[in-house]
Structure 1
Amino acid sequence: MTPPPARRRRTGANGSTPTHNLPRRGAVRRAQAITTYGVGSLIAVDHESFIVSGLDEADRSWNGDEAPRIYERRLARLLEVDCFRLPPASDDTSKDGLRVRRFPLMHSCPECNELQLHRDFNPPAGRSVCGTCEVDLVPSRFVVACEAGHLDEFPYWQWVHRSTDRGSTTGGRCGGKLRLRTSGRTSSLRSIIVSCTCGQAPEVSMEGSFRRKALKDLGLTCRGARPWLGSAVPSKGCGLPLRTLQRGSSSVWQPVLKSALSIPPWSHRREDPLAGHWEKLRKYEDRDRIHAYLDAVFDEPWPLSVDEVMELLDAEREEDPVDGATPAFDHRYRALRNKEYERLRAGNDESEQSRDEQFVCETPLGDQSVLGPLGITGPMLVKKLREVRALKAFTRLVDAESTTDAKEMPLSEKALRWLPAMEVRGEGVFLRLDENRLATWEKATAVAARVERMRTAHQRVLDERADDPGRAAPSPATPRMVLLHTLAHVLINEWSLEAGYPAASLRERLYAADDMAGVLVYTATSDSAGSLGGLVAQGEPRLLDRTVRSALRRAAWCSADPLCMEAEASGTNGTNLAACHACVMLPETSCEHNNILLDRALLVGTPADPAVGFFESVLEN
């Protein structure tokens, strides 16, 4: 076979060698850099473990061609940034890309059983092996974190010496060396044995290290370490309680994602060159001053005409609060959803738009009256859509959905005017529930009682995780929200069976409020499932009628029944009722609410009270 071509030495812009010549360690997809391996997350590459670095140096290390800027004005305004950037897509010769740092630093050698910092093993350059035994080192399986988002090494020395020097925070002063071995008797924590060669402390197992107060009993609290930023530990520690976690646990890193659909008049992308100018343009209300500004900034021809700029400014002002006060983040996000709901209802016909249009939403041609008995109205075929998902921050130990700003860890030490994001292009089906029928159903006492149980459980979780329980975010659980959420799940499951879509390639977007009762199901990935019209075809009234009826029949019975249907509480902290992985739960990538606030009884009723189900009459017929 022919030998591979010689690797070309990469040069800088002026022909010089790059400032950094960092070794490559694995690869991730762009989407994973937002949802799975974002800033502050741990990533395993072969037998090594790293933490993804912050974005403070990204402006220099992310090549403009490999990490282009993308724009979505409505989302950028919500998150108070100028633009977004795609994570870098580098080829094999590139030295740019996501930066990582080795973490945890504590490693063990399976041959000599020594447990110490990685550098103390004296590994050869570029390798992670024991300098004495020449076998691969094993990163520590355990780390510690606090609810403020800090992350640190597990305190092995204090754990071993807890009976001889309780409360000490000075590691290694006994002069001995730590060792870690596995007894091999079981796969439990009891089989992981840690000892010290000083002989002053007995061997101890890792059993009990995951107790909530295990580290508090040692007198240890969070130091405020932020290894992804590479900064020194603050002199004033965080002070919050520490929790022991498995290095690969999902609790170690949870992304805080915010997204928006590109809707008219922001969906033709010709306004992108004006990014960074909107705050100044908002100060002008007359044509002459806008004309003068455009003439001073842009050469002819301008990206947009004066009339188009004024139209965009008017659309932006419509999302401003009525009283002129600065709205809370949640209120602004709700206004963003309200505008999407209005546009999805109104549609945007393809024949009236240019080829550059990013949002095409049309009324189906079939007879919509067949959906009347179902209580479904206003189906729309979203033939073309663009969604931008931005990584705003991340959390540890707490779900990103239930967190407060105080527990969100930023992606950089210094404030940036951009955030990493990904864009999804696809298609979808939008439908609404009949408002009159929905209003009657919501008033039923049994319906309100079931939802109140979930709302109370969820609110208790929000209160416990808030710094100030009095300022905790209210639970979004309402009868129509839980109904729409569960309906979206059963539709995604049904389309995954009938239309050949993997459930993980579809995603829900809920519009549930006093004046909204709709759900959008759309393709969540544009690479594997694509946007070839297969999902849009399912929105034709007769096909949709058949799909909904089939989905309801499946939802009427679960393989875990009667336990599933009769459960007093299920899911995380009792935030679900009749919902489990055998009936309505979805992959995490498909659900906006982490598989909580679900109850299929609100769809189909219960054996004791069928009237609880919104679609109870459909099943009877």
Structure 2
Amino acid sequence: MALRDKSKRQEPGQRSAALESSQPLGAVRRAQLLTTYGVGAMVAFDDQSFIVSGLDTWNVVGRPDIVEPRLQRYLSVKGFRLPPAFDPPAGDGVRVRRFPRMYSCAGCGHNLRPFEEFNPPPGKSECAACGTPLTPSRFVIACEYGHLNDFPYHAWVHNDNDGETVRPGRDHRLSLHTTGRTTALRSIVVTCSCGASASLEGAFGRFVMRDIKVSCEGGRPWLGEQAARPGCPMTPRTLQRGSSAAWFPLVRSALSIPPWNEGIHLLIHDRFDMLQHLDDGTMATVAEKTGMLENTGYSIEDLVTAVRQRQKIENEQLEDDDGQFESAGELRREEYEKLIQTTHEGSGGRDFECVRPSGDSAPLRKMGIAQNMLVKRLREVRVLKSFVRVEAPGLSEPNDRKAELSLGKLDWLPAIEVIGEGVFLRLDDDRLVGWEKCEGPSTRAQVLRHNHTIHLRQRAGLSKKTTPPESPLTARFVLMHTLAHALINEWSLDAGYPAASLRERLYVSDKMAGVLIYTATSDSAGSLGGLVSQGEPHRLRSSLESALERISWCSADPLCMEATAGGADSLNLAACHACVLVPETSCETNNAFLDRALLIGTPDIHATGYFHD
């Protein structure tokens, strides 16, 4: 995936010439355009820094590349597009804009000024006066509404004068120096030609920008210099340019399940807007005249049935999933119904095949596993919906926090599709309900729920007198989540897959208790059968016993098992890097809501663990 500079201003109608002449600056994988370097994220190449431009600058034409009706309805778009490739006709790369604008030159007295004022040669990041490579600013400011701006060096140096009475000009030229005495921020000093100076110590304080009377300018540099939204009420925070807090993607995904992954539904997708308004007779006439069913093996009846089926789901009201985990949402409920059924190749299509194992599952049922299914083939579509900054996304984000991916409303979003395989497990409902009523699980879940409620209250900016949001966390969710982590770690050793290549997909609500552990990749490596074979009863029983034995003791015990608060925001109990944590790419909740005691019990109360016996 080539990234090209789009920093120069262009008038409407001049887009193609400027874009086609730009040279590629570097390359990233297509999948990274959703998870690491998506729209609004900063990316560094050599001695330069850029921000990935909005979707309206992407050179993509024609009909959508990826079809997934369920996810399209959920996100209110008509389709999804792959990030453009380097070579035509798939595209000629993704545009980037220079950011931050502030650079320094070590050869000219460490001058600190906007990039253009150094008059660099075309295509280079060098000072015109001395030829020294320029260095982009290490610091930026961002707010929780997704806005991003350069660090206010001038206001920082002159904060004794309230940052208002001193205006930038020829008498106030900045320079950036490093004393080298320590690695702390106090060794980085900004000086002004007027004699004022200040170190950057304290620049990362939560309200320090408010103290020097710097407000958020509403900058949206990924959409252009003129896209700012002034008047933002939020207080900006200082971030390092490469900080993970500078960009958190909001990615949504869905599995392709019957009947939406079958050929007839794919066939009608491009014509659905027209077909849905026709009666059955007219639809048959149109199909005959256009020959849309020729050599497809489908009849007029199949066409009518598919259109009416699609029309019905399009008209259904989506349930509000705010305030609950994604694992209990409507998309997951639909997938859960298919995962507990046997779907052969003839009925499931090319993208989904879920079958029962050939061995005897009776020993697993004695352990509390009600059902294990082999998902021999699956297709997952992952979509970049939006992104947030400063604070990681929570259960439900207000629209103010979700940054726009383009200047205008588009009917598509960037996405990738991945192919893989997996194993689905469902716990025994009766045993699970009985376990949830025990004092041990409910008590430990209540501790996590209390910590999560405090976290939600802080995120919402509510005072102690205001009723906080209700945490949906349950002992069932923590159990299923920790079980998934234990099996991922075990199978990474037994199945030959790195832990980072395995992913969890949770299905947890008052009517669901399942987990899909799968490998999904954009090539054929995710469907070689190594993981599916672990779902056979004899292998699964051995893996489960080994995983439970492995987490029954942690090298951090007894501190780990006795912890009452662990992990970020105290959202874990008995869980650490030595026992059940996995790579963050494998986890749906950033390694939060884990407690291995709910699997194996505690030294004092063995019945706390679902698998204690």
What TM-score, normalized to structure 1? 0.89
Structure 2: 5+ residue runs without aligned partners?
A: 1-15
Note closer, same or farther for the CA distance 1:92–1:336 as it changes in structure 2 (3 Å cut). Answer: closer
Q: Which residue of 2 aligns with 1:608?
A: 604
Note closer, same or farther for the CA distance 1:134–1:63 as it changes in structure 2 (3 Å cut). Answer: farther
Superposed CA deviations along residues 110-158 of structure 1, whole A, max 9, x for unmatched, are 2331111111111111000122221221111101000000001000000
Alignment partners' CA distance in 2, 1:82 and 1:325: 17
Mean Cα displacement is larger for which, 383-392 or 366-375?
Answer: 366-375
Letter in 2 for 1:82: K
**Aligned partners of 1:505 and 1:529 also within 8 Å:** no
Alignment partners' CA distance in 2, 1:63 and 1:581: 45
1:210, distance to aligned residue in structure 2 (A): 0.3
1:606, distance to aligned residue in structure 2 (A): 1.2
Mean Cα displacement is larger for which, 97-106 or 19-28?
Answer: 19-28
- SS of structure 2 residue aligned to 1:237: coil
Mean Cα displacement is larger for which, 137-146 or 308-317?
Answer: 308-317
1:99, distance to aligned residue in structure 2 (A): 0.5
- Kindly report which structure 2 residues correspond to 1:379-418, keeping only aligned pairs within 5 A, or say none: 379-402=372-395, 403-418=397-412
Letter in 2 for 1:141: R
Q: Does 1:186 align with 2:182?
A: yes
**Aligned partners of 2:219 and 2:229 also within 8 Å:** no
- Kindly report which structure 2 residues correspond to 1:545-556, keeping only aligned pairs within 5 A, or say none: 545-556=541-552
Q: Which residue of 2 aligns with 1:62?
A: 60
Alignment partners' CA distance in 2, 1:360 and 1:486: 26
Mean Cα displacement is larger for which, 600-609 or 463-472?
Answer: 463-472
Alignment partners' CA distance in 1, 2:167 and 2:28: 36
**Aligned partners of 1:256 and 1:401 also within 8 Å:** no
Q: Does 1:429 align with 2:423?
A: yes
Q: Does 1:347 align with 2:314?
A: no
- Kindly report which structure 2 residues correspond to 1:216-615, keeping only aligned pairs within 5 A, or say none: 216-232=210-226, 234=228, 236-278=230-272, 281-282=275-276, 287-292=280-285, 294=287, 299=292, 301=294, 305-313=299-307, 316=310, 327-328=319-320, 330=322, 334-350=329-345, 352-353=346-347, 357-402=350-395, 403-466=397-460, 474-527=470-523, 529-615=525-611
Note closer, same or farther for the CA distance 1:456–1:140 as it changes in structure 2 (3 Å cut). Answer: same
Alignment partners' CA distance in 2, 1:95 and 1:339: 35
**Aligned partners of 1:558 and 1:564 also within 8 Å:** yes
Alignment partners' CA distance in 2, 1:525 and 1:574: 32
Alignment partners' CA distance in 1, 2:309 and 2:470: 29
Alignment partners' CA distance in 2, 1:426 and 1:95: 26
Alignment partners' CA distance in 2, 1:294 and 1:206: 69
Note closer, same or farther for the CA distance 1:91–1:559 as it changes in structure 2 (3 Å cut). Answer: farther
Q: Does 1:113 align with 2:110?
A: yes
Alignment partners' CA distance in 2, 1:90 and 1:359: 31
CA RMSD in angstroms comes to 2.7
1:278, distance to aligned residue in structure 2 (A): 3.6
Letter in 1 for 2:343: N
1:531, distance to aligned residue in structure 2 (A): 1.4
Q: Which residue of 2 aligns with 1:8?
A: none
Letter in 2 for 1:328: D
- SS of structure 1 residue aligned to 2:242: coil
Q: Does 1:215 align with 2:213?
A: no
**Aligned partners of 1:63 and 1:88 also within 8 Å:** no
Superposed CA deviations along residues 444-478 of structure 1, whole A, max 9, x for unmatched, are 12211211221222233233323789898753411
Letter in 2 for 1:115: L
- SS of structure 2 residue aligned to 1:538: helix
Letter in 2 for 1:407: R
Note closer, same or farther for the CA distance 1:169–1:393 as it changes in structure 2 (3 Å cut). Answer: farther
Q: Which residue of 2 aligns with 1:97?
A: 93
1:527, distance to aligned residue in structure 2 (A): 3.8
Alignment partners' CA distance in 2, 1:170 and 1:417: 46
Superposed CA deviations along residues 195-230 of structure 1, whole A, max 9, x for unmatched, are 11111x2x2111100010111101112111100000
Letter in 1 for 2:42: L
Letter in 1 for 2:521: T
Alignment partners' CA distance in 2, 1:280 and 1:211: 56
Note closer, same or farther for the CA distance 1:272–1:110 as it changes in structure 2 (3 Å cut). Answer: farther
1:289, distance to aligned residue in structure 2 (A): 4.8
Mean Cα displacement is larger for which, 249-258 or 287-296?
Answer: 287-296
Superposed CA deviations along residues 418-459 of structure 1, whole A, max 9, x for unmatched, are 000011101000010011110000111221121122122223
Letter in 2 for 1:500: G
Letter in 1 for 2:341: A
1:171, distance to aligned residue in structure 2 (A): 4.9
Q: Which residue of 1 aligns with 2:83?
A: 87
1:160, distance to aligned residue in structure 2 (A): 0.6
Letter in 1 for 2:266: D
Alignment partners' CA distance in 2, 1:474 and 1:616: 30
1:589, distance to aligned residue in structure 2 (A): 1.0
Superposed CA deviations along residues 68-117 of structure 1, whole A, max 9, x for unmatched, are 61110110111011110011121499982110000001011123311111
Letter in 1 for 2:66: I
Mean Cα displacement is larger for which, 118-127 or 173-182?
Answer: 173-182
Letter in 2 for 1:50: F
**Aligned partners of 2:84 and 2:90 also within 8 Å:** no
Identity of aligned residues (%): 49
Letter in 2 for 1:213: F
Alignment partners' CA distance in 2, 1:432 and 1:548: 13
- SS of structure 2 residue aligned to 1:271: helix
**Aligned partners of 1:430 and 1:521 also within 8 Å:** yes
Q: Which residue of 2 aligns with 1:29?
A: 29
1:404, distance to aligned residue in structure 2 (A): 2.8
**Aligned partners of 2:424 and 2:514 also within 8 Å:** yes
What TM-score, normalized to structure 2? 0.90
1:191, distance to aligned residue in structure 2 (A): 1.2
**Aligned partners of 1:158 and 1:169 also within 8 Å:** no
1:277, distance to aligned residue in structure 2 (A): 4.2
- Kindly report which structure 2 residues correspond to 1:197-212, keeping only aligned pairs within 5 A, or say none: 197-199=193-195, 201=196, 203-212=197-206
Note closer, same or farther for the CA distance 1:293–1:209 as it changes in structure 2 (3 Å cut). Answer: farther
Alignment partners' CA distance in 1, 2:71 and 2:230: 35
1:565, distance to aligned residue in structure 2 (A): 1.1
Superposed CA deviations along residues 224-252 of structure 1, whole A, max 9, x for unmatched, are 11000004264742121110001111110
**Aligned partners of 2:287 and 2:293 also within 8 Å:** no
Letter in 2 for 1:31: A
**Aligned partners of 2:191 and 2:198 also within 8 Å:** yes
1:282, distance to aligned residue in structure 2 (A): 4.8
1:571, distance to aligned residue in structure 2 (A): 1.2
Alignment partners' CA distance in 2, 1:257 and 1:588: 14
Mean Cα displacement is larger for which, 269-278 or 242-251?
Answer: 269-278
- SS of structure 1 residue aligned to 2:208: coil
Note closer, same or farther for the CA distance 1:316–1:62 as it changes in structure 2 (3 Å cut). Answer: closer
- Kindly report which structure 2 residues correspond to 1:129-208, keeping only aligned pairs within 5 A, or say none: 129-163=126-160, 165-168=161-164, 171-173=167-169, 175-199=171-195, 201=196, 203-208=197-202
Note closer, same or farther for the CA distance 1:376–1:466 as it changes in structure 2 (3 Å cut). Answer: same
